[in-house]
């Protein structure tokens, strides 16, 4: 007869999964799958998964995010449907602070479907694809499934500068091969920008202020190219305006 006593590692896994809230937040789009952790393409190898837990030369500077911080994400930010006609994401969704967020504070993980960077495993039409680890050739795509981070808009044509940024970080994930039943694994998160040496960003992000990041020039250049090909003049105008910033 099998023992009813769970192994310590399995107990840790069960507790971690029980902590996760898989109920989508308010204003979540019905056609997007809500995630509480990454899903993985079949093309992602076991070696690549293992490599996400290996220290990198710069990884000693990465923040280790606790389970409590992850669970409190929806206490920090909310999804709002934008009603400002001048906003490039008018009638679309944005990510806004529920309360004041201090400089350098963790906001949320960026979750989605992890895939390899091969052409056959990459969606060329996705606007939500973010590099997870270039050295091992993995990215995370939140086009069809993800979490609240997918609604963070680019600052261009909205504000003078971003107030948040993407950063590498670590979280604890279940691992039956480790003594404690968990290991640290690489993720990408969104953090409030630091105050800076001159303290220009010491206010952080105010309550009800939109969380704005920089997608980078390459993102808008690809959007411009795609808009030209599709003859999507509205998107073309937005991309050109963003590149002129």
List the CATH number of the domain containing 47.
2.170.270.10
Q: In terms of DSSP H, where are the helices of 161-232?
A: 217-230
Read off the pLDDT of each residue in 199-223 and give the average, rounded to a whole number. Answer: 84
Give me the number of domains the chain comprises. 2
Specify if 2 maps to a domain.
no
If one counts every other C-beta atom within 10 angstroms of the C-beta of residue 108, the result is 25
Taking the C-alpha atoms of residue 102 and residue 99, their distance in angstroms, rounded to an integer, is 10
143 and 58 part of one domain:
yes
- List the domain range (segments joined by +) for residue 127: 8-214
pTM: 0.83
Are 141 and 235 members of one domain?
no
74 and 38 share one domain:
yes
Which of 49, 67, 75 minimizes the C-alpha distance to 171? 67
Q: Tokens standing for 63?
A: 């923040």
In a shared domain, residues 144 and 237: no
In whole angstroms, what is the distance from residue 152 CA to residue 85 CA? 18
Residues 200, 244, single domain; the answer is: no
DSSP code, position 66 = P
What is the DSSP secondary structure assignment for residue 219, as one 8-state letter? H
Q: What is the mean pLDDT of the chain?
A: 87
Give pLDDT, residue 223.
67
Same domain, 128 and 220: no
Dihedral angle, C-alpha 166, 46, 122, 63, nearest 10 °: 0
Q: Note the pLDDT tens digit of each residue in 102-134.
A: 999 999 999 999 999 998 999 988 889 999 998
Report which of residues 201 and 154 the model is more confident about: 154
CA–chain centroid gap for 166, Å, is: 8
16 and 67 part of one domain:
yes
- Whether 134 maps to a domain, the answer reads yes
In a domain, 1, yes or no: no
Report yes or no on 196 lying in a domain: yes
Instruction: Specify if 140 maps to a domain.
Output: yes
Q: Poorest-confidence range of 1-15, 79-93, 176-190, 206-220?
A: 1-15
The DSSP symbol for 201 reads T
Same domain, 244 and 205: no
- My answer on whether 235 and 201 are in the same domain is no
Q: Do 235 and 182 have their domain in common?
A: no
Together in a domain, 88 and 187: yes
> Do residue 210 and residue 226 come from a single domain?
no
């Amino acid at each position: 007869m099998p023992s009813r006593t769970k192994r310590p590692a399995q107990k840790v896994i069960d507790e971690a999964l029980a902590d996760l809230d898989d109920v989508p937040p308010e204003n979540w789009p019905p056609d997007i799958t809500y995630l509480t952790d990454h899903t993985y393409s079949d093309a992602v190898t076991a070696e690549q998964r293992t490599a996400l837990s290996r220290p990198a030369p710069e990884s000693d500077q990465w923040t280790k995010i606790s389970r409590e911080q992850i669970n409190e994400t929806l206490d920090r930010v909310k999804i709002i449907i934008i009603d400002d006609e001048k906003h490039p994401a008018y009638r679309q969704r944005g990510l806004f602070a529920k309360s004041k967020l201090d400089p350098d504070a963790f906001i949320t993980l960026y979750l989605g479907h992890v895939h390899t960077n091969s052409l056959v495993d990459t969606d060329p039409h996705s606007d939500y694809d973010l590099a997870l680890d270039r050295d091992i050739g993995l990215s995370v795509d939140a086009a069809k499934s993800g979490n609240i981070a997918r609604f963070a808009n680019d600052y261009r044509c909205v504000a003078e500068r971003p107030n948040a940024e993407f950063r590498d970080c670590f979280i604890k994930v279940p691992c039956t091969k480790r003594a404690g039943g968990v290991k640290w694994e690489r993720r990408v998160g969104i953090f409030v920008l630091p105050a800076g040496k001159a303290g220009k960003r010491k206010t952080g992000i105010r309550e009800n202020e939109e969380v704005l990041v920089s997608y980078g020039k390459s993102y808008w250049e690809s959007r411009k190219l795609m808009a030209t090909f599709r003859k999507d003049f509205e998107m073309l105008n937005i991309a050109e305006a963003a590149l002129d910033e």
